Amino acid sequence: MKIATWNVNSLKVRQQHVLDWLQLSQADVLCLQELKLTDDKFPRTDFEAAGYKSWFAGQKTYNGVGILVRDGVSVDEGSVVRNIPGFDDPQQRVIAATINGVRIVSAYFPNGQAVGSEKFAYKMRWLDALHDWLIDEIKAHPKLALLGDYNIAPEDRDVHDPKAWEGQNLVSPEERAQFVRLVGLGLTDSFRQFEQPEKLFTWWDYRMLAFRRNAGLRIDHILLSAELAATCSACEVDKVPRKWEQPSDHAPVIATIG
């Protein structure tokens, strides 16, 4: 089974890119972030026509997450959960579902804006809540995959210019400690299970010709529970859609499991 994640930065603008990439990648499951639309605007029937069923949690203007599942892949309809249970939050950042026996979590982690800001404090609270929820979730579902835009570059090798970024939002010690804490739940960064090219990132700023200069960060991740990591045979970043006209600033990440 191929599972993938992609921050599309507006599904309204990127709908055709998603359809094109599903064709190219043959993903069975695609987790989406930053839909930036309300549920009534989600193009469910367009994805259905392309052979994918969808579950989503959206809102106006910001955030919003979804999961697309190829027809023929079994989804436990009653298993769908929106938001982190017990964490009261108007921001739509999490949706989870049990797909082909695998607990799939599509997550859009808070950006944090700047270390020390109120938004950064929210990011930390949100990460605490995610961590605590996942303790129980992994117990209940030994096969679990946490896919999404983490807004954390875990190590210096995930940063184009570690010196310039040192201590900044997205790479700060506090955020990296939270990433390590998630790994401590028994999760594996599937990207690092395999040999990868140097300086392969998942996000490049729209400004400063950042993509052309490969001035990026690796902030989109697929973490797998031990049981799933043992079956993972590949994890790749697909930079191709970042070269398309009017692209998302993120590239999709795809892993093969089972």
Partner DNA sequence: ATGGCAGCCGTGGGCTGA
Please give the residue ranges that form the binding site for DNA (CB under 7 A): 7, 9-10, 12-13, 34, 36-37, 60-62, 110-111, 113-114, 119, 149, 151, 169-170, 203, 205-208, 217, 219, 246, 249-250
CB of 240 within 8 A of CB of 230? no
Burial state string for 195-216 with b = 16 or more CB within 10 A and e = fewer than 16: eeeeebbbbbeeeeebbeeebb
| Catalytic hit among 17, 28, 52, 149 | 149
d(C-alpha 165, C-alpha 237), whole Å: 22
Q: Please pick, among 17, 28, 52, 108, the residue that the annotation labels catalytic.
A: 108
User: Does the annotation place 46 within a ligand binding site?
Assistant: no
Dig out the tokens for 191 from the structure.
């990207």
User: In the complex, what is the shortest distance from the CB of residue 117 to DNA, in angstroms, rounded to a whole number?
Assistant: 9
Pairing of strands 102-108, 144-149: parallel
Cβ-based nearer residue to DNA, 119 or 139: 119
**Closest distance of CB 116 from DNA, Å:** 13
Strand partners, 147: 106, 222
Q: Which is nearer to DNA, 62 or 87 (CB)?
A: 62
Structure tokens at 125: 């609270």
Q: Output 111 or 193, the one with its CB closest to DNA.
A: 111
Q: Say whether 108 is catalytic.
A: yes
Strand 65-70 relative to strand 94-99: parallel, antiparallel, unpaired? Answer: unpaired
> Cβ closer to DNA: 75 or 210?
210
34 is in an annotated binding site: yes
Report the nearest approach of DNA to the CB of residue 79 (Å).
Answer: 27
149 labelled binding-site residue: yes
**Integer angstrom CA distances of residue 186 from 85, 101, 175, 177, 229:** 21, 18, 18, 15, 10
Per the annotation, binding residues are 7, 34, 149, 151, 249-250
Q: Which residues are catalytic?
A: 108, 149, 250
Per the annotation, binding residues for Mg(2+) are 7, 34, 149, 151, 249-250
